[in-house]
């Protein structure tokens, strides 16, 4: 079984999502299914609202199963306990892109909580994998589809 390394924030976010799916979304879809059955034609296969609700129900049940597995097999990486001199899940890393001469700030998180738009990159991404266990001052190379990029670690927060 895969072990998931989550930040406390990621664990709480996934727990809230699971709770909402189980307590609210499941019930909402069940109600929609019930209503769609009432107003459907003689054949449920011809009832698009019923089909849509069935598909949504399958998605919700799959997501519940996925979240349950993640939360049962996770280790919470407490940011207070981690070594601040080494990049790990939960670290905020400031790097200098040596090709573009610009600094960038990332928070390294698990794949299930990554969101590049908000600066959260996965520990399984090419850059995330390369940064793991590195220290301030280290220069890392990351292969991108276009070229190999170099980054220097400026700070680990």
| pLDDT tens per residue across span 53-99 | 899 999 999 999 999 999 999 999 876 655 678 999 999 999 999 99
Residue 47, pLDDT above cutoff 90: no
CA separation for the pair 136, 113 (Å, rounded): 24
Q: What is the mean pLDDT of the chain?
A: 90
Residue 35, pLDDT above cutoff 90: no
CA separation for the pair 67, 47 (Å, rounded): 30
- How many Cα atoms are found within 13 Å in the side-chain-facing hemisphere of 56? 16
pTM for this structure?
0.79
| 39 token code pair | 């107003």
% helix / strand / coil in the chain, to the nearest 5?
Answer: 45, 25, 25
Using 50, 70 and 90 to split pLDDT, how confident is the model at 116? Answer: very high
Do 63 and 107 fall within a single domain?
no
Q: How many CB atoms lie within 10 A of CB 46?
A: 10
Per DSSP, 155 falls in state E
Decide: residue 41, CB within 10 A, 0-12 exposed, 13-18 middle, 19+ buried: exposed
Range of the domain at 119: 92-156
Would residue 84 count as lying in a domain? no
Do 144 and 113 fall within a single domain?
yes
Domain edge (last residue) among 24, 48, 77: 77
């Amino acid at each position: 079984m895969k072990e998931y390394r989550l930040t406390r924030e990621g664990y709480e976010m996934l727990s809230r999502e699971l709770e909402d799916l189980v307590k609210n979304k499941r019930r909402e879809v069940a109600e929609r299914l019930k209503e769609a059955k009432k107003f459907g034609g003689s054949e449920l296969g011809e009832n698009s609202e019923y089909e849509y609700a069935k598909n949504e129900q399958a998605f919700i049940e799959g997501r519940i199963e996925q979240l349950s597995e993640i939360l049962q097999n996770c280790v919470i990486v407490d940011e207070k306990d981690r070594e601040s001199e080494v990049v790990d899940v939960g670290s905020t890393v400031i790097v200098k892109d040596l090709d573009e001469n610009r600094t960038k700030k990332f928070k390294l998180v698990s794949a299930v909580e990554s969101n590049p738009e908000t600066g959260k990159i996965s520990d399984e991404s090419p850059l995330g994998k390369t940064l793991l266990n590195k220290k301030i001052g280290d220069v890392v190379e990351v292969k991108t589809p276009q070229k190999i990029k170099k980054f220097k670690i400026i700070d680990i927060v």
